[in-house]
Amino acid sequence: MIELVALAKMGDKPAFDEIIRKCVPDLFRIAMSILKNKDDADDAVCDTVVKSYENIHKLNDCSFFKTWIIRILINQANSAYKKRKNILYLNDTLQEPQYEDVYDLGNDDLNTAVANLNLEYRTVITLYFFQDMKIKEIASVLQIPQGTVKWRLSKAKSILKEKLSEAPLPKHREGMGNV
Amino acid sequence: MCKNIDEALRNAKKVDISNSTFEKVDNVLKNLKYRKEEKYMKPRSIKYVAVAATLAVFLLTGAAFAADWFGLRDLVISSRTTHDDGIRYEMISLQGYANSNEYKALVEWIEFCDSYDQDRSILNEIGNNDTGIDMVYRYYGAYTPKMVDKIDEIIEKYGLSLLGESIPYDTLEEFMARISYGNFVGDTITTIPGYAYENGTFQFEGYIADYDTVNANFLDGYRLIQYDPDSVSPEDVFAPEDEFFYGLPVIFVPYGGTDEDAVVADISSGELTFVPYDGNVAIADILNAVDDDSLISFQFRYCTKGVFDYIALNINNFEDYTQWSYETACGITVNLAQSTYKSLIIVELDNAFVTVNVLGGSDEFSMPELEAFADTLDLTLLK
């Protein structure tokens, strides 16, 4: 990956295309976690692609590409989320966007509980558990202190615990590793 | 219960995403234009522009194009030339001139790739699944056994070897120790560690200071970030790339702040903390240095001869470049080329082909400055 990023920084368009294609699934899943709507998530990913292409030469360290592009994506998605919230506020006849699962937690109650977390909690849960990012990386991506990330994670888990208190999770599930 | 939640979250399975998302992204990628690299420096002084213009006229009418001088034309990969909105975009080989086996191998590989899996059906079917292809072939973008066979055919045909394993380096010391050529980049350039292949090819990036306004304080170890204390804190503006900015301390100071207000980011413990700035350079001096001084980034690629490399560089139209040969301070003659937005240093050594891609062109990086940069490289150390 690092070589491809270096090539992309040198203006190699095919290399850039290849990196993006590798990143699209994760970018889309993160965008979905925030926006909970496929069309909006697609738009956020596409905007991220354009923005990253315009700015890749500013990336200082190629090994930071993924963190860097996720940061761009989250900014795009958050901004889309805010705009959409305004639209909903002004026009209450619009339907809530339909949520489409991008992560399977093997338990419908937990899936629903995560999907219904507020944006801040949902985002840290997604980045930490589903994208295997470190606290430090999440802090960088979200531009918040590491302590805040830890606090949000802890709070999110306690909300999930509360919501699921009457629906115990299975202790073990076969074949459910990260893909 | 909490443990179960942790476990369940950790075991989340990523659901495949629909093809329509890939199609939308592909459409965006198709419509992206080749970009010109950002110009990092402010326009040069009139004095420098005048000197550069005079020198350009002299060089173009002088001995710059000696009979057997190899120019960019001999590096262009014609099959990769495209036209968009009347502009010609060209890629050049960084492995060697058109008469070399390394160049021919690259061209054959590019032509194969351009004709193989054109509708990307194989690639789409593979998706993110493991191809089972050895990493040393994946560097070339191979994702099927047929592509591996083609690579093997090419290296046999042209008598080349594979790049081998690639190792990225976290610190400049480790990197320099690996390539073991000594300090061939001099002290006026800041380098960031790159990666090196088993067979000797390596690449790294760096920054060149503006030669007439060089500020040693800035180069010696400070990067300064200003922030608005009413809305953010240093922690808020700390970005992941800041950790790697030359590996130097990053100072945060509020707008209008003094030395007492400044703090330095410290990640040595693995956690981000801030300590009071107690450096011996006044913040005001660093601010002035940053204001007056800009840096130009460059990429340095050393391609070992006899090795099949896959890299090519986008230079737009080679006819937009002024080209000349120049004997550097170390006594080795290099080929220099400059357009309005990019400068190149190209040299063929006994055992390698070296290209330095400078992301600054004649608008801000004069010809004497390009020569001065070339002078800082001790190419005799590169075997």
Whether residue A23 is found in the same domain as residue A55: yes
Rounded distance between C-alpha atoms, residue B345 and residue B58, angstroms: 19
Q: CB neighbours of B175 closer than 8 A, spacing ≥ 6?
A: B169, B193, B194, B196, B202, B204
CB proximity B32 to A under 8 Å:
yes
Whether residue A142 is found in the same domain as residue A54: no
As for how many domains chain A has, the answer is 2
**Cβ(B298)–Cβ(B357) below 8 Å:** yes
Q: Do A20 and B29 count as a contact with CB atoms less than 8 A apart?
A: yes
- Per-residue pLDDT of B65-84, as tens digits, reads 443 456 888 998 877 777 66
Whether residue A1 is found in the same domain as residue A83: yes
pLDDT at B307: 96
> For B280, which DSSP code?
S
Q: Which of A53, A129, A146 sits opposite B12 (nearest CB)?
A: A129
Whether residue A7 is found in the same domain as residue A89: yes
Would residue A173 count as lying in a domain?
no
Whether residue A114 is found in the same domain as residue A163: yes
Whether residue A50 is found in the same domain as residue A135: no
Q: Which of A102, A139, A173 sits opposite B11 (nearest CB)?
A: A173
Q: Do A157 and B18 count as a contact with CB atoms less than 8 A apart?
A: no
Whether residue A72 is found in the same domain as residue A118: no
CB proximity A121 to B under 8 Å:
no
- Per-residue pLDDT of A91-126, as tens digits, reads 333 444 445 567 777 777 888 888 888 888 888 999
Which of the listed residues A80, A101, A122 is the one where a domain comes to its end?
A101
Whether residue A22 is found in the same domain as residue A89: yes
Q: Do B28 and A110 count as a contact with CB atoms less than 8 A apart?
A: no
**Cβ(A123)–Cβ(A33) below 8 Å:** yes
Mean pLDDT, residues A59-63: 71
Which of the listed residues A101, A122, A149 is the one where a domain comes to its end?
A101
Would residue A110 count as lying in a domain?
yes
pLDDT at B285: 65
Whether residue A40 is found in the same domain as residue A66: yes
pLDDT at A131: 86
Rounded distance between C-alpha atoms, residue B366 and residue B363, angstroms: 7
Which residue, among B219, B224, B214, B216, has the nearest Cα to B292 in the 3D structure?
Answer: B214
Q: How confident is the model at residue B54 (pLDDT cuts 50, 70, 90)?
A: very low
Would residue A153 count as lying in a domain?
yes
Whether residue A84 is found in the same domain as residue A33: yes
- Per-residue pLDDT of B101-129, as tens digits, reads 999 999 999 889 888 888 778 877 776 67
In Å, what is the CA distance from B243 to each residue of A61, A142, B113, B238? Answer: 9, 16, 37, 9
CA atoms within 13 A on the CB side of B249: 22
We report the CATH number of the domain holding residue A157 as 1.10.10.10
We report the CATH number of the domain holding residue A51 as 1.10.1740.10
Whether residue A110 is found in the same domain as residue A159: yes
Would residue A20 count as lying in a domain?
yes
Strands B250-254 and B223-227: parallel
Residue B283 pLDDT more than 90? Answer: no
Full residue range of the structural domain in which residue A112 is found: 103-168
Mean pLDDT, residues B14-21: 79
Residue B244 pLDDT more than 60? Answer: no
pLDDT at B52: 31
Would residue A85 count as lying in a domain?
yes
Which of the listed residues A78, A101, A124 is the one where a domain comes to its end?
A101
* ipTM of the complex, rounded to two decimals: 0.77
Whether residue A110 is found in the same domain as residue A69: no
Would residue A164 count as lying in a domain?
yes
